[in-house]
Amino acid sequence: ILKSIYAPLRRENRIVGHIFVFQDITKQQRLENMRKEFVANVSHELRTPLTTIKSYVETLISGAMDEKEIAQQFMNVINDETDRMTRLVNNLLELSRLDNKQVKWDMKLIDAKDVLINVVNKMDMNIKRKNQILIVNTPDKVPEIFADRDRIEQVFQNILSNAYKYTPEGGKIYLDVEAADNIVRIKFRDTGIGIPKEDLPRIFERFYRVDKTRSREMGGTGLGLSIAKEIIEAHGGKILIDSEVGVGTTVTLEIPAVAATQTIK
Ligand code: ADP
């Protein structure tokens, strides 16, 4: 897209030349479109739970309150929907802090394996309840990484909970930790529903989801992977995803081991 500006060049009231300025606004336009789309997405994502809450509250007010069992059910829905809104707003705040470089990184030497085990322990009950099998494969000693522990934990949590959410009952989740060439590589592999190839290039975009309804049913916000990507890249690392529909998904994190980096951008 080109924008042009024209102005005559005058000297003593005579036109002695012409000035044309052509400006390529393709990039600008694209950014503007992305911004608009983001605002539309946020509004929509907030309005959906609000609409639900409003209609349940109205029904309660107009009499359902007297039916104890129904009232209890409605209250549970309202509770879940407010939790979803809180999660969404917290994720948005985190993204905005990352965008504005306002994150105060608490960088320390940490053992990624420890953090992973921590996350596994937190998720274990859910995984067992869904009859899924979790197989962790890690060497005894893994080189340390220079990282913000809480944020790395958040990344592991986001990716593991996706594996759990998008893998049916009885499925398997494999976690492999490897150390190679000054990086620590962590693979999260599941035997879940998978992601169509055509969706893979956009999967790290904010709010991009293969199946909105399914993501919502699972309590997703559509921001987990984009937050994970921002955090891993801020640590000088990489996040990769590969998937096949009906077979499963593998998300791989590559984080520089300590000898390779000491600082953060
Ligand atoms: P959500 O909150 O919707 O899970 P994410 O950003 O974490 O958002 O993931 C974006 C989308 O990527 C999900 O909605 C889902 O469609 C897809 N996805 C992510 N991880 C997996 C996985 N392990 N298996 C299948 N689909 C996945």
pLDDT digits (tens, 9 = 90+) for 42-56: 999 999 999 999 999
Q: Give the distance (Å) from ligand 1 centre to CA of residue 217.
A: 12
pLDDT digits (tens, 9 = 90+) for 6-27: 888 888 889 899 988 887 778 8
The larger pLDDT score, comparing residue 107 to residue 217, is at 107
Going from the C-alpha of 248 to that of each of 56, 174, 208, 217, the distances in angstroms are 37, 11, 19, 20
- The pick from 41, 130, 173, 209 for probing ligand 1's pocket by mutation, whose C-beta has the most ligand atoms within 8 angstroms, reads 209
Q: Is the pTM of this model over 0.80?
A: yes
pLDDT digits (tens, 9 = 90+) for 108-122: 999 999 999 999 999
Residues in contact with ligand 1 by the CB-under-6-Å rule are 158, 162-163, 166, 190, 192-195, 203, 209-211, 215, 220-226, 249
Q: Give the distance (Å) from ligand 1 centre to CA of residue 158.
A: 9
User: What is the rounded average pLDDT of the residues 30-53?
Assistant: 91
Q: Where are the beta strands (DSSP E) in the chain?
A: 2-11, 14-24, 107-110, 133-137, 145-148, 172-180, 183-190, 238-244, 248-256
Going from the C-alpha of 181 to that of each of 115, 254, 256, the distances in angstroms are 21, 11, 9
User: What is the rounded average pLDDT of the residues 147-169?
Assistant: 97
